[in-house]
Structures are given as structure tokens and as C-alpha cells.
Amino acid sequence: MPSPSSFLARVAGAPIRPVRAAIRHWVLSAFPRAQSGSIDYDHPHGDPGWFGPDSATWRVHSDFPGMLAGGLAALTLQSLHPLALAGVWDHSNFRGDLLGRLRRTTAFVGGTTYAPRAQTEALIEHVRQIHTHIVGHAEDGRPYAANDPALLTWVHVTEAYSFLQGYRRYSHVTLPVDAADRYYGEVRRIAEALGARAVPASAQAVHDYFQRIRPELVFTERSRVVLELLSQVRLPVPAAGLSRDLFLHAGAALLPDWATELLGRTPRQQRQARLAAHALWTVAPVFRAALKDGIASRACRRMDVPAEQLQHWA
């Protein structure tokens, strides 16, 4: 069986039209549009939602390769926090439906980014209500609650950091010097609406946050089990194993050095991450060309702006 990097390299060199069609089928099979539920991204006309087409958030979250690789990196980071992991361990059906959990997270991020204002607020309130029921005790006996502001901040920061790193690595776009601060300053609004507090709002603040929280992080047997299940998730697409491994390794390439060390990733794993990152960077423009009619494009039409605007920064 070819490696993920060699497989994607061949894809990148294949005729464009059939590759676009195959990638479109791949994405819609793994993350079907029905997962958006009843969200109407087309109406009401002129409603920018919480961010709008001039935002850094619309730009960063429009890049599918960076978002999927970043999402997997975020899940990896989140497995290192014992209290956050305990909530997943006790209350999530990740053992039997990890793909479903990934889809639900994808739908929430897409909805809160691109949906009209009222639907964005309804999504957030729905998640807030779910969080009230997620309570328990970690392995060491400490209590946890999903609506704990500190845990909400941790989950938010790992996601925002990873999404931005994915965009940097795979979008083929050079970011303005203030892009990271703009992005972190915008997306903290979602975390605060969910109940997070003291949410970092700049690249430096995110760096400082990770420095402060590192003593609380640990790679446990539960972490190993969750990441092992993640490494075996079956996507409902052709070449499922290769697709999964490509994005998992490309996601691992986004991890900060301290997390790579804490996870005990071997030199071989780190080499795989570098190769996968190069392969995904090579094929990323084909993903972009194949997915021109997604929710970001629909939101742009709602605002009467060209979707191509999201590929450029003011």
C-alpha cells in the first residue's frame, strides 16, 4: 500500500477535473451537508452573522484542508488535559461513533462562523444546555464540569490555535502581520458566549496561556486510548485509511514542539508528519477548487460578495 504522502503526490499530479470530482465526493461523504441541520445559510439576505465577510474568521475557516488537519491537531492537544478528557471519556460515545463526534464539531464551527445571527445564537445556546449535564470526576478524583470557564477556555484555545496553524501551513496564503491577533480577537466571542473567561485575544496571549497551563497537562493511558481510536477512525470514502493517515499526520505537523515532546512522538512519526504536511500542501489547491459551493460561499452570496474575496486579506 502506498504511503499517504506518495498517494497525495500522485493525486496532485493527476488530471484536474476528475480529481476535483473525487475530492468533492470524498468531502461530502465524510462530512455530509445534512450535518448542518436546519441552518439556512442563504437567508436572511444581508445578515453577516457574528463575523461577516471582512473578518479573519471567515477566511481562516473557509480552508478545508487546514480546518480538518487543524481539528485533528486540536483533538490531540485536548487529550492532554485530564479534566477535559474525563468529560469526553465519561459522556461521549467516542468509542462507537468518533466520526459522528467529528461531524458534530465540524457543524458547530461552520454554523457559528457562517450562519445568520439568530441561528448562530441558537447553536451556542444548544451547546450551553448540553454542557450543563456533563459533570463528573476525573481519574484523580477532581470534579469537572463541561461549563467550567477554565475548561471552555482550554478547548477554545486548542481549536483556535490549531485552525490558525492549519491555515498558515496549508492555505498557500501569506498572512498579514496582524492576522493572528485579528483572528484570536474575533473567535474568542464564541468561547465567551459559551461561558469561557480570560480568553486569549492575541498570538502572544495564546503563547503565554500555553506556558501557564503546561504543568496541568499529561499524557495518560486514557490519552493513548483516545488517540489510538482516532488513528483507526474509518471515513466513508475511498482509500479511507490513506485519507485518514494523511490528515492525521498533517495535523500532527501543526502541534507545538512541547506537545510533540509530551506525546512522546518518535523520530519516525515526526518524519511522517513532515512528509504528510508537504503532500497536503501540494494538493490543497485542488481541495479548494473542488469545494467552491460550500457554506462559506453560500454565506458570501447572502452578503452579495464574491467568495474569492475570502482568499485575500485587506
- Give the pLDDT confidence of 268-307 residue by residue, as tens digits: 999 999 999 999 999 888 777 766 778 999 999 999 999 9
263 three-state secondary structure: coil
Q: pLDDT-derived band of residue 11, with 50, 70 and 90 as boundaries?
A: very low
Q: Flag whether pLDDT at 213 surpasses 70.
A: yes
In this structure, which amino acid lies at residue 212? R
Among 94-108, 201-215, 276-290, whose mean pLDDT is lowest? 94-108
Residue 147 in 3-state DSSP?
Answer: coil
The pLDDT-based confidence of 199 (bands split at 50, 70, 90) is: very high
Name the percent of the chain lying above pLDDT 90. 70
Confidence of residue 22 (pLDDT cuts 50, 70, 90): low
Q: Is the dihedral of CA 216, 218, 223, 228 positive or negative?
A: positive
Q: Does residue 91 or residue 73 have the better pLDDT?
A: 73
CA nearest neighbour of 163 among 198, 187, 196, 194: 187
Largest distance between two CA atoms of the chain: 57
- The residue-averaged pLDDT of 86-99 equals 82
User: Cβ(97)–Cβ(278) under 8 Å?
Assistant: no
How many degrees, rounded to 5, is the angle at CA 129 between CA 193 and CA 35?
A: 85
Please report the pLDDT score of residue 15 as a whole number. Answer: 47
